[in-house]
Structure 1
Amino acid sequence: MRTRASAALALLTVTVAAGCGGAGGRQAATHGHALAGAPRARSAPQAPPPPRAIDCAKASCVALTFDDGPGPYTETLLNELQAAGARATFFMLGENVASFPHAVRRAALAGHEIGNHSWSHPQLTTLPSASVRAQVQRTQRAIERASGGVTPKLMRPPYGAVDKRVSGDIAMPEVLWSVDTLDWKIRDTRRVERAALGQAHRGSIVLMHDIHKTTVAAVPTVLAGLRKKGLTPVTVSELFSTDKPMQAGVAYGERVPPVPAPSVPQRAAEPPR
């Protein structure tokens, strides 16, 4: 009996010792594995900042727009815009959105405007109406998913090619441009800077492309130069916010500030007789 009791006691001692040593390590490893596999607490969903109180009927506003993204340089561009406290409008291609969803979401959360630039950049006037609508609607859905629910309100037709039929198929305000930097062609940072700053004026819509590294490199100088000229970078919707609402089927290339009525000199009051 004593032999069996001693053996049992020895076995218990070995088991406890193992539990305090090797098994403890295994328990720690198991605990760590459980933590690694456990679902992480999600942060509360963020919402875009409220619209800014900018009156472009009084302020000298200019809209910077970037086409064909998102791409590998879009987040660098977002960093530069954030550092300057500037907002812009991104006309995105649906086929690129799924590859860079974080950039889409980040742009939306920063208060930038996201517009539709078609799914694959075809010339819409060469497509049948069903294909035009598919290009637009498919991109709308992709942006909504990636951005967390932002539905584009503006459309930039590729190449600026639009006619009455395509306008009806798009069924959104169409945004063109008044300053073409030709950045897609020249691929030179200094020339992009000169093109943007040399042509931009109050009410301009400036066309650039965030898929080009040379363009993104030009943005800090462009932003600083615009401010030096007294121009405030805004989104397209902000540019037209104090006008009548933007209309579907209407192409917007520039905001022309109203011309003030000429002042009429008043005749001096005649002295009483």
Structure 2
Amino acid sequence: MERRRFLLALAAGLAGTAVVRGADGLGDAVTPVADTATPPVRPAGATAATGVPGIEPQLPPTGVVEALPGEGPALALSIDDGTSTEVVAAFARFAHDSGVRMTFFPNGRYRSWEDNAALLRPLIDSGQVAMGNHTWSHPDITTLGDQEVAEEIRRNRDFLRTTFGVRDSPFFRPPFGAHDERTDRIAADLGHPTIAMWNGTLEDFRVLTAEELMAAARRWFTPRTIVVGHANHPAVTTVYGELLELIAERGLRTVTLADVWATPGQRLRGATAVGRLTVP
């Protein structure tokens, strides 16, 4: 209970916030899991205004984004993969308890996402959590033919729709950060024109100690940074309080990528969810 009160106390200071090219090798080996049935499609959630100085919602761009625009204290936490059911669950509880805003890029082949769908759907519907496409099985898509690339993206897009009701996310994050004009075009044709890269990392594409992970956070938790992390290894679940302290100490405000780049429809749905209207 003391830990929960600590998280909620810090979250109170973050209330109303929400909070490249990636370095070579910032990806994970994948472990296949079995497909499972998914529930019917639900309406997609979306965001409202960020309330972050220097961030004005924009239409999603066609092409690569590597950092947040503007001059304010926004920080975008983005979490990839999801090999661990326990780590995905811990991230969902962290978001619920703290109010931190983040963007997930799931690989649908991992059972962890369906196992935690009931925890994540309310966060997605409220706009606190956004989703993007990271392919179904995490291959290097630059090594695949056109049809294989399209199938990886399409299958994961359909998974996001049926599992979380996410119908119109513009964001695609290529595994390992590997993409080219051909794969970008295929992603855009399938509804993901914005290639979401990053300019900061928790360095947890490999197994880290809690101390190593916090060293990465202290390096990269800076304004206008898109930080990539992974829902794979348990070390991150032991440092949520320290991450919140760091965010508060530096005056950062967490945002989802959809807080920054959203279609008009997303903004309207998000505004309805929180009872206010957002216009650019």
Q: Distance in 2 between matches of 1:184 and 1:108?
A: 25
Matched, 1:212 2:233: yes
Matched, 1:83 2:108: no
Deviates most, 107-116 or 68-77:
68-77
List structure 1 runs of 4+ shifted beyond 6 angstroms. Answer: none
Percent sequence identity over matched residues? 24
**3-state SS of 2:118 partner:** helix
Following TM superposition, by how much is the alpha carbon of 1:222 offset from its aligned partner in structure 2, in angstroms? 1.3
Matches within 5 A, 1:120-269: 120-171=137-188, 172-240=193-261
Q: Answer yes or no: is the 8 Å Cα contact 1:89–1:113 preserved in 2.
A: yes
Higher helix share: 1
Q: Distance in 2 between matches of 1:48 and 1:73?
A: 23
Q: Distance in 1 between matches of 2:173 and 2:47?
A: 24
Following TM superposition, by how much is the alpha carbon of 1:63 offset from its aligned partner in structure 2, in angstroms? 0.3
Instruction: Quote the residue 2:51 is aligned against.
Output: 54
Following TM superposition, by how much is the alpha carbon of 1:110 offset from its aligned partner in structure 2, in angstroms? 4.4
Tell me how many residue pairs correspond in the alignment: 197
Following TM superposition, by how much is the alpha carbon of 1:202 offset from its aligned partner in structure 2, in angstroms? 1.0
**3-state SS of 2:77 partner:** strand
Q: Distance in 2 between matches of 1:144 and 1:104?
A: 13
Q: 1:227 to 1:240 in 2, by over 3 A?
A: farther
1:39-89 per-position Cα deviation (integer Å, ceiling 9, x unaligned): xxxxxx887475134342353101001000273222221222222221000
Q: Distance in 2 between matches of 1:183 and 1:161?
A: 18
TM-score relative to the length of structure 2? 0.64
**3-state SS of 1:113 partner:** strand
Instruction: Quote the residue 1:92 is aligned against.
Output: 106
Following TM superposition, by how much is the alpha carbon of 1:130 offset from its aligned partner in structure 2, in angstroms? 0.6
Instruction: Quote the residue 1:67 is aligned against.
Output: 80
* Larger Rg, first or second structure (1 or 2): 1
Instruction: Quote the residue 1:119 is aligned against.
Output: 136
Q: 1:54 to 1:176 in 2, by over 3 A?
A: same
Structure 2: any 5+ residue segments left out of the alignment? 1-41, 56-69, 263-280
Letter in 1 for 2:82: G
Q: Answer yes or no: is the 8 Å Cα contact 2:247–2:253 preserved in 1.
A: yes
Following TM superposition, by how much is the alpha carbon of 1:94 offset from its aligned partner in structure 2, in angstroms? 1.5
CA RMSD of superposed structures (Å): 2.3
Q: Distance in 1 between matches of 2:198 and 2:235?
A: 20
Q: Distance in 2 between matches of 1:220 and 1:166?
A: 38
